[in-house]
Structure 1
Amino acid sequence: MLVAVFFPIVQATIIYGILWVVWKLFRLFVLRSPLDNIPGPKPSSWLFGNLREFQDRQAGWRFREDLGTKWNGVVRIKGVLGEDMLYVFDPKAMHSVLVKDSNMHERHEWSLLFSYLLLGKGLLSTSGIHHRQQRKMLNPLFSIAHMRAVTDIFFQVSYKLRDGLSNEIKQGCEDIDVLNWFGRAALELIGQGGLGYSFDPLVKNVPNTLGDTIKRILPTVGGTMIYKNLLPIVVKIGTPSFRRRLVEMIPLRKLKETTKNVDTITSECQNIYITKKKALLAGDDVLIQQVGEGKDIMSVLLKANMKADESDRLPEDELIGQMSTLVFAAVDTTSSALTRILDLLAMHPDVQDKLRAELKAARENGEITYDTLVDLPYLDAICRETLRLYPPVSIITRGTNGDTILPLSEPIVGVDGQLMNEIPVPKGTQVFIGILSSNRNRALWGEDVLEWKPERWLSPSTKELSESRIPGVYSNLMTFGGGGRSCIGFKFSQLEMKTVLSVLIESFKFSHSKDRHKVVWNSAGIAFPSIGYETTAPSMPMHIELVQ
């Protein structure tokens, strides 16, 4: 039975693989591409091109930094068997890819399918009209009015985090893994503020199944990405239940781990959805007794969904998909950013003291409100500067649906020595938007672009930056993307960060642990620290003292 099921699949996979290799070799040695004239680094391997350097946890930082400093705006890099890919950080070119001609530059089919298999029918796995309909329904949930409504929830979670860290200090812990605590806090923030559900009491260490699962998702998925190009074929084989049985029969450890992680996230979100729906149907009196008191994103979304016209209403599987997407997207990015800020504040104790003084002054008139919090200039400058210099996600990818033209803000010199004001891009080209390189563009940010200087945000921006028309949704930065697929929760994320920092910096003094010299930041889908590159276990131990 096993042979009968697998033989046609193995046979089709082998044939597909042979044809793919033949086409790549034909393209490499016979055909010419308009991208051949785009300058870029020499491939280190004829088989893998530049991908090993590009994706390496350690060398990836230096390689991406070099792409942004040694070339101008658009760089050609090589993929498997000589595939031409583009690394783009020219403002006008990015605007074309993400905004003006976004219909020509969608996420790859395999990328959408991967997101669907991991998280269901949420924002990350839909495209075109379907994506726009989902976003239209979700946009009001991330408005300023709604952010004001959840501010109290964020402060409550932040106080629990403070109490949890205080307990650790009282028990004699010299060094505390702040990344672990921030991961737990980020899950609880999106749990209470996003789903109206509490995952973690924070005041003590408890098993956290969903939080641990989310941390495992990206490292585990990385081991299955070699099969990404097979996804569009595999999903057309039989029924979903049949495909599931096939997956369970395949003896690949990473694939089995990924399946288990997906099941955990889906099951947790389904249970939360059922509980939330029952409370909503029972009326407002019952709803306000739930976590989040009906102010959380999912409670508001479910209400709006019930009132919407049938044509605009999201089906149940998409609502659950949005829940999975919210949890997945909000945890690692926020915890990474918060950890990076504390790391920098420990390096710059004068900045930490100045921030503490600003927060103390703001609290003299009582509890800090939403409007006060978002208007604190130095806190805002620290967050912006950290997200500029160290974005948690350093690239986003797109694929061209047809032959197109990429316009440039500044001409580049082609391999043939001629100036190019635009680039013809053939169908099927993979495009990397260089978030890191755009945020560190020396021509726009100045000669001190590599310095962490919060003060740069306390003065008006330069003329070059103001006129650059960078398509990012946040402060001339590409950290949260741009266009119709930009991060819908960027205001939510900023509020989380500022709330947590306002509570912790007033309460504690942060300094580096004795092991800080061993800590490295890994270049990954989401940047994370670890104790050396030999391990993939995320960790950032820090020394924490109570502020007297």
Structure 2
Amino acid sequence: MLASLLQGIAICSATWFLWKYFRQVFVKSPLDNIPGPAAESFIYGNLRQLLDKNGWGFLKSLESYDGVVKLHGPLGHRMLFVFDPTAMHNIIVKDQYIYEEAAFFIKSNLLNFGPSLLGTLGEHHRKQRKLLNPVFSIAHMRRMIPIFNDVCLKLQKALESRIDGNDMVEIDMLSWMGRTALELVGQAGLGYSFDPLVTDKPDDYASAIKLFQPVQAEVSLLRRLVPYVSDLGPPAFRRWLLDMFPHKGVQQLKSIVDVMHERSLEIFQLKKQALEQGDEAVAHQVGEGKDIMSILLKANVEASDEDKLPEEEILAQMSTFILAGMDTTSTALSITLTILSQHPEVQEKLRNEILEASKGEPLEYDALVSLPYLDAVCRETLRLYAPVAQVFRETREDVVMPLSHPIRGVDGKTIHEIFVPKDTVVAVGLLASNRNKAIWGEDAEEWKPERWLSPLPGSVTESKIPGIYSNLMTFLGGGRACIGFKFSQLEMKVVLCLLLSKFTFAQSDKKVNWVLSGVRFPTVGNSPKPSMPLKVGLYKGPVPA
């Protein structure tokens, strides 16, 4: 009797599994009428092309469609790639709790960072964001400027010592931008110094952080399996399973996450101890208590019981701040310096604006944000070379997706809105939106800072792109927009001001490849190691008095 019952349960379970994961092969869907490319294979669909480290060409081909593209997911599942502005508004703003973060993203971030902003959903995420939002206010950002300037002056001295009287020296600027961004987020974000920017190599922690994205790119397909194993058995069993998993990338990622967690725990204990000892102890720490984490800890102590976050979640935010604050900003700065090396006339014009305002000295907040050409260069770089190319969402229920303009279906009929079934994976094309010719014009793929020095065309303002920053999707929008985008903008501007007032940048002779990943990164030749060599020299021109 028991054997028959167990056999019945096994058959029912197997049948349910097969139906759940293969029904899309046999059941017709309204998504079948959306145009899109053919699948690469039944097993992978188009997913491997979408995640390929050299997949820029495939991404570009999707932009030839009319804002919404049907893709094939693994095992016959259907996906959508979306860059239509109205559809994006519904995905990340209006219906954001229907189009939630993909399960693999949430589950893998829980494993990597703990229950931080990147690893929580719904009310849990909103509660965290409510406490964190005031910490990133303009008033607090103003206080960061002296810290930013101090760190960047150390960077100036470090690069000057490497040039040591030579005309031009080839320097890996990605490494220095990564170290600088880590020190900036360390001092201004956590009140902790990671790297004095003196030695030729970063410490092990900085190296581990910079390897996070390249290693994660190697396991991008395996990440899709995380939701099915992350709750398997007790934590000790899952750790044993992870230790035994025969994959180099998985083991590297495990080591990186361990290093991040240990350092975050160390910093957290120091911050907590200083806070318990009172204001005098806090004032003696790096940042003198003006850093984001000190402000957050104080706000959490003063918060009501219902708004207070447990220590586990505060600790998780630290690892998230470190990685997000370092990786995207260092990439954006490396891209900007590369583009300026390719456009010496723009580099000279920007340097003149900076020197005219600064007279070679660090700028205060109001002067920094009042430089129009610097702002234009930053905006245009973040538009055309967004560090994050796409994000993924999954529908938690059936939903209708409206479009900004009709598209032509496979059957030739006009489509004004799309019925999207529950459990559909939707890739939001951030980069595709930023360079959409229907919105930005025929020169959308050209890097032209001047476009920001006059009013944007009506096609941009009228499209109502839901991005939080300057009609761009670079920092996302809605309830999951990048909470630290103002922090990142200030970092970029301070670093560029102090570098361009002291140095000139020219292209290296080495071939650089940009790898498509969660956050893009450059490599040289066939090496998998992140690197961005540039020729750097001292600026010898006049400085306005």
Find out whether 1:388 has 2:383 as its counterpart: yes
Q: Is the 8 A contact 2:39 2:72 kept in 1?
A: yes
Find out whether 1:361 has 2:353 as its counterpart: no
Residue 377 of structure 1 is matched in structure 2 by 372
Residue 124 of structure 2 is matched in structure 1 by 130
What is the distance in 2 between the residues matched to 1:417 and 1:216? 47
Query: Could you tell me which of 331, 336, 345 is aligned with 1:341?
Result: 336
Query: Could you tell me which of 412, 430, 434 is aligned with 2:429?
Result: 434
Using a 3 Å threshold, how does the CA distance of structure 1 residues 545 and 223 change in structure 2: closer, same or farther?
Answer: closer
Residue 538 of structure 1 is matched in structure 2 by 530
5+ unaligned residues in a row in structure 1: which ranges? Answer: 1-14
Query: Counterparts in 2 of 1:197-236, with a 5 A limit?
Result: 197-236=192-231
Q: Deviations over 1:189-235 (max 9, x none)?
A: 10001000000011332441221111222232344444445433433
Find out whether 1:35 has 2:31 as its counterpart: yes
How far off its partner does 1:342 sit? 0.7
How far off its partner does 1:331 sit? 1.2
Matched AA of 2:60: E
Q: Could you tell me the percent identity over the aligned residues?
A: 50
Residue 243 of structure 2 is matched in structure 1 by 248
TM, length-normalised to structure 1 = 0.93
RMSD: 2.0
How far off its partner does 1:187 sit? 0.5
3-state SS of paired residue (2:465): coil
Find out whether 1:139 has 2:133 as its counterpart: yes
Q: Deviations over 1:315-354 (max 9, x none)?
A: 1110110000001111111111101111111111111111
Matched AA of 2:316: G
How far off its partner does 1:507 sit? 0.2
Find out whether 1:512 has 2:507 as its counterpart: yes
Residue 176 of structure 1 is matched in structure 2 by 171
Q: Is the 8 A contact 1:99 1:483 kept in 2?
A: yes
How far off its partner does 1:366 sit? 6.2
Q: Is the 8 A contact 1:165 1:203 kept in 2?
A: no
Worse overlay, 437-446 or 495-504: 437-446
Q: Is the 8 A contact 2:362 2:498 kept in 1?
A: no
Using a 3 Å threshold, how does the CA distance of structure 1 residues 56 and 250 change in structure 2: closer, same or farther?
Answer: closer
Using a 3 Å threshold, how does the CA distance of structure 1 residues 230 and 542 change in structure 2: closer, same or farther?
Answer: closer
Find out whether 1:238 has 2:233 as its counterpart: yes
Worse overlay, 90-99 or 40-49: 40-49
5+ unaligned residues in a row in structure 2: which ranges? Answer: 1-11, 541-545
3-state SS of paired residue (1:480): coil
Query: Counterparts in 2 of 1:221-370, with a 5 A limit?
Result: 221-364=216-359, 367-370=362-365
Residue 93 of structure 1 is matched in structure 2 by 87
What is the distance in 2 between the residues matched to 1:400 and 1:223? 26
Q: Is the 8 A contact 1:167 1:203 kept in 2?
A: no
Find out whether 1:195 has 2:190 as its counterpart: yes
Aligned length: 530
How far off its partner does 1:21 sit? 6.4
How far off its partner does 1:16 sit? 8.9
Q: Is the 8 A contact 2:508 2:534 kept in 1?
A: yes
Using a 3 Å threshold, how does the CA distance of structure 1 residues 290 and 150 change in structure 2: closer, same or farther?
Answer: same
Find out whether 1:527 has 2:492 as its counterpart: no
Query: Could you tell me which of 124, 145, 151 is aligned with 1:151?
Result: 145
How far off its partner does 1:254 sit? 2.8
Q: Deviations over 1:431-484 (max 9, x none)?
A: 011011100111111111111100000000111111111000000000000100
Worse overlay, 385-394 or 221-230: 221-230
What is the distance in 2 between the residues matched to 1:228 and 1:52? 12
How far off its partner does 1:169 sit? 0.5
What is the distance in 2 between the residues matched to 1:440 and 1:232? 33
What is the distance in 1 between the residues matched to 2:333 and 2:183? 15
Q: Is the 8 A contact 1:396 1:435 kept in 2?
A: yes
Q: Is the 8 A contact 1:402 1:426 kept in 2?
A: yes
Using a 3 Å threshold, how does the CA distance of structure 1 residues 17 and 209 change in structure 2: closer, same or farther?
Answer: farther
Worse overlay, 378-387 or 535-544: 535-544
TM, length-normalised to structure 2 = 0.93
What is the distance in 2 between the residues matched to 1:16 and 1:169? 67
Q: Is the 8 A contact 1:183 1:332 kept in 2?
A: yes
Residue 410 of structure 2 is matched in structure 1 by 415
Q: Is the 8 A contact 2:213 2:517 kept in 1?
A: no
What is the distance in 1 between the residues matched to 2:162 and 2:223? 43
Matched AA of 1:464: S
How far off its partner does 1:62 sit? 1.5
Matched AA of 1:130: H
How far off its partner does 1:44 sit? 2.6
3-state SS of paired residue (1:103): coil
What is the distance in 1 between the residues matched to 2:320 and 2:14? 32
Worse overlay, 474-483 or 163-172: 163-172
How far off its partner does 1:45 sit? 2.3
Q: Deviations over 1:377-406 (max 9, x none)?
A: 000000000000110001011000011000
